Amino acid sequence: MNRIDLEGQVAVITGAAQGIGFACAKRFIASGAKVALWDKDAVMLGQALETLGAGSKAFGKVVDVTDPASIRAGLEAVNDAYSNVTIMVNNAGIAGPSLKTWEYSDADWKAVIDLDLTGVFYGCRAVIGQMREAGYGRIVNVASIAGKEGNPNACAYSAAKAGVIALTKSLAKEVADLDIAVNCITPAAARTRIFDQMSQAHIDYMLSKIPRGRFVQVDEIANMMAWLVSAENSFTTGAAFDLSGGRASY
């Protein structure tokens, strides 16, 4: 493993108690960063911190990213514990039910959009002030290949992730005059607990679309993330980085 230099950096990762978020937390800590793990699930958050160990440069905070007040409280906790945030990874998300568009309920649509898109907006908005004041920052939003192609039976998820790509590009242009990089990743599916929300038919469909013939591993995502949030990523901004195993056509 190449050691990306994140010494002196303070990172917030949402949805960090498991899956992609937890893999990124481990990788960032190994690279020298102090990491605040945000998650809505207090039990899983405690287990994640226990796994990281008492000596790790990490702490956890129960945060609901769909609630601006909860995000403000989480940010205050990070500032008090460490200092201003220099790295933000907006990762928290849900898949939603595997249904045809005309079968989607109002409640299911709202739940996916609120977390997968609006929660990303809230996270970006919360930290961008600190980053602009410092003239430095790195934001990575977790989108999806579904946001590029639109998966059938996943209209809300696909729409939300497409929105994340556009949000990323818009914010990146607004702060391009500063050393603030705002990018997103567009991975194929990783075998995490999000699969519990999907039908087997939908999982099989996603796998069939990946030329590499397997799902992406969370450590592979964390490896790309580590460079994206580093000072070495000094020019690229507003980009969508492919992690789709060859599926992406653009």
**pLDDT for res 50:** 95
The single residue of 136, 157, 205, 250 carrying the catalytic annotation is 157
| CA 114 from centroid of its chain's CA atoms | 15
**CATH code for the part of the protein at 10-241:** 3.40.50.720
Judged by phi (left if over 0) then psi (alpha if -120 to 50, else beta), residue 153 lies in left
In the chain, what are the domain boundaries?
A: 10-241
CB atoms within 10 A of CB 103: 11
**pLDDT for res 197:** 66
| CB contact at 8 A, 57 and 105 | no
Cα gap 197→46, rounded to integer Å? 23
**pLDDT for res 216:** 85
Q: Which residues of 170-198 are buried (b: 16+ CB within 10 A; e: fewer)?
A: ebbeebeeebbbbbbbbbbbbebebbeeb
CB atoms within 10 A of CB 214: 10
Cα gap 129→242, rounded to integer Å? 28
Greatest alpha-carbon pair distance for the chain in Å reads: 50
Q: What is the pLDDT along the chain (250 residues), one digit of tens a residue?
A: 688 999 999 999 999 999 999 999 999 999 999 999 999 999 999 999 999 986 779 999 999 999 999 999 999 999 999 999 999 999 999 999 999 999 999 999 999 999 999 999 999 999 999 999 999 999 999 999 999 999 999 999 999 999 999 999 999 999 999 999 999 999 987 777 666 767 788 788 888 888 988 888 999 999 999 999 999 999 999 999 999 888 887 7
Cα gap 49→237, rounded to integer Å? 31
Indicate if 157 belongs to the active site.
Answer: yes
Q: Which residues pair with 190 in a beta bridge?
A: 216
**pLDDT for res 208:** 86
